Amino acid sequence: MKKEIAKNVSSGAEKVERIEKREEVDMNAKTPEVKQTKTTKTTKKKGTMSASTPNKTAKKKSAAKTEKAAADRRIEAARGRAAKKAEKRAKRAEKKASLKEAKLEKKAALKEKKLEKKRAIAERKLRKKEMLARKKAERAEKRQQRKADLKARKAERRQEHIARREMLKNESRSERRQRIAREKREKRAMRRKKQEAKERARENKLKARERAHERKAAERRSKRESRKHAPGFGGWLAAVISLGAACLVLATIVTAGAFRMNDFAVSTENGYRSTLYEMVSTCEGLDDSLSKLRVSSGAEEQRRLLTETLVNSSLLEADIERMPVDEATVTDISGFVNRTNAFARRMLQKLAAGERLNDAERETVAHLYEVCNTLYLELNTLVTENSEKELKAMMEGKGNFGGTIAEMKKGMEEISDAPFQNEGNIGENRLARLEEISSSEAEELAKEYFASYHVTEAKYTGETLTNDVSCYNVVLTDDNGLEIFAEITKRGGKLAFFDTYEECTQKNFDLDTCDAIAREYLAGLGIGDVEAVWLSDGGMVANLTYTTVDGGVRLYPEIIRVRVCEEKGRVVGMDARGYLLNHRERDLKAGLDEGTARGKLSSALTPEGVELALIPESGREVLCYEYFCKYGDEEYLVYLDAATGEEVQILRILASARGSYLR
């Protein structure tokens, strides 16, 4: 029974109950045997052991009670252990249930948070969509308003033109002469006012700068004086004596020079007036030669006209240098005259080689004529419509001669100033092997090329053949009404050229930054590994010229021009026709080493840098050593044939107000 209880202790409360029931059955079974035994023993030893029987019975009863009490204690201990285990299981189950419930609550909270985040994102997208739609509607409304205003202005101008036309029909010759004179005076007055305003602003700026310099100088002097001892009497006396001597010398010079000043001024004025008349005559001759050259087709006549152009441009340059015009204006006019001179010289060399002028060169002649004609008309107006007093004021630098010439800067800037431009196709035409596209496809491609320019419309306007490149003309309009003229090649659909007429009035980006912007733009078109060979700063627009590089060799036939607005920092023009026509792999090896070629340079030149360059020359490609040389203060680019060492071409680098250019 002891072992049985011990075995069943671990079974829990149910086992305890079974043990109790089994114990009752055993007690009931054992009780009759005890009685029977006792009866038997009493019977057997009735006479002899009657005295000891009660003691034995009492001992047995006491042992049974002790055993039962021990069994009861064991049972109670087993019940306690079973109860504790049951309590632990209950607590464990409760804890597990609470953890499960907390996990479910956390999961539900996380799910609710995700749903809230999704709802917030959806709301933001909806708000952004509504904002974009609102802005789009506002832009559309502004465009409509601008169109309406433009239409109204056009209608107003049309009415003004009609009224003016009616007025012109009825005016007499004298009235017409008076009206033309009045309009010219008004234009000159307006130009004069603008120029005077610019001059005043420039003077105020200079005065402010001078005041700032004087203030800083005074501060520096006061600091130095505060660190020094007070000067002695001897130093003051020496200063007074030196100043007195200087005043005596200056008075002597002024007195002696005053007698000659009046005669010198009259002579200078007469010289300036004579130079102005000579400029008008020379410019008229240049205008006449260019006018005939643009319509000439005979080689002999072209040679004669180009010679006249060469002579007249040289004379005009000499006249301009003697005029009383500021340096920037002289540079602008001289730049145009120099480029005209260089173009005439290059065309004469081409005719001497038995070649003819191509379409691009004829376009250049036409443009030169337009600029020269404008210059001639302005000079002629100055001479014929200004009084002697006004001409005298101009000769003294008080007039608006510089402002008049400055109005033509834009036309003068359009003449190319980078080396080896407008050469066209040299060798195999790389575009000829590409597939031809339609005009509608060109419109779609143009939209893709100008995706970042907020283009709203692309319209095909015709075709162009320039420098052996056949292109579709596409005019694109952005959301501000700005037009972009683009040329898309008929074969391959490449962007060959584009230009915008966006006004840039501030300088927010320097040339280095514009260079980085242009390189990034070319990389977007798939044109990489380029080197900047010519940078110039045309007003507020940076003009950058690049060539591709193959094994350290500059490939000038693959020239690319990029224009970057320095106010907004974006590309506003690009010409990649040379690259599209001539880009290919080449096997370039120099026949002479650089040291041998350097020995063939003129001893008058000082070479300061050298590069290998492939240049176009008379319809072929020539590998040359490109030397940057100096002769005194003047700079040159000299090209020596890398196979023979012979001079192929020399270009002179001239400085201007916007950078350097070549002649």
* pLDDT at 490 (0 to 100): 92
Count CA atoms within 13 Å of residue 233 on its CB side.
Answer: 0
The token pair at 192 is 């004069």
359-385 and 327-352 helices, crossing angle to 10°: 140
* pLDDT at 255 (0 to 100): 45
* pLDDT at 512 (0 to 100): 87
Stretches where the chain sits below pLDDT 70 are 1-54, 173-174, 177, 181, 185, 188-189, 192, 224-275, 321-335, 383, 385-428, 466-468, 538-539, 654-663
Query: Is pTM, for the whole model, over 0.85?
Result: no
* pLDDT at 423 (0 to 100): 59
* pLDDT at 259 (0 to 100): 40
21-56 pLDDT, tens per residue?
665 555 555 444 444 444 444 444 444 455 556 677
* pLDDT at 522 (0 to 100): 92
Whether 492 contacts 431, CB under 8 Å: yes
* pLDDT at 30 (0 to 100): 47
Spatial separation of the C-alpha atoms in residues 400 and 161, rounded to whole Å: 30
* Residue bearing tokens 């920092």: 569
DSSP assignment of 21-55 equals HHHHHHHHHHHHHHHHHHHHHHHHTTTTSTTTHHH
Pairing of the two strands 606-617 and 469-478: unpaired
Spatial separation of the C-alpha atoms in residues 611 and 640, rounded to whole Å: 11
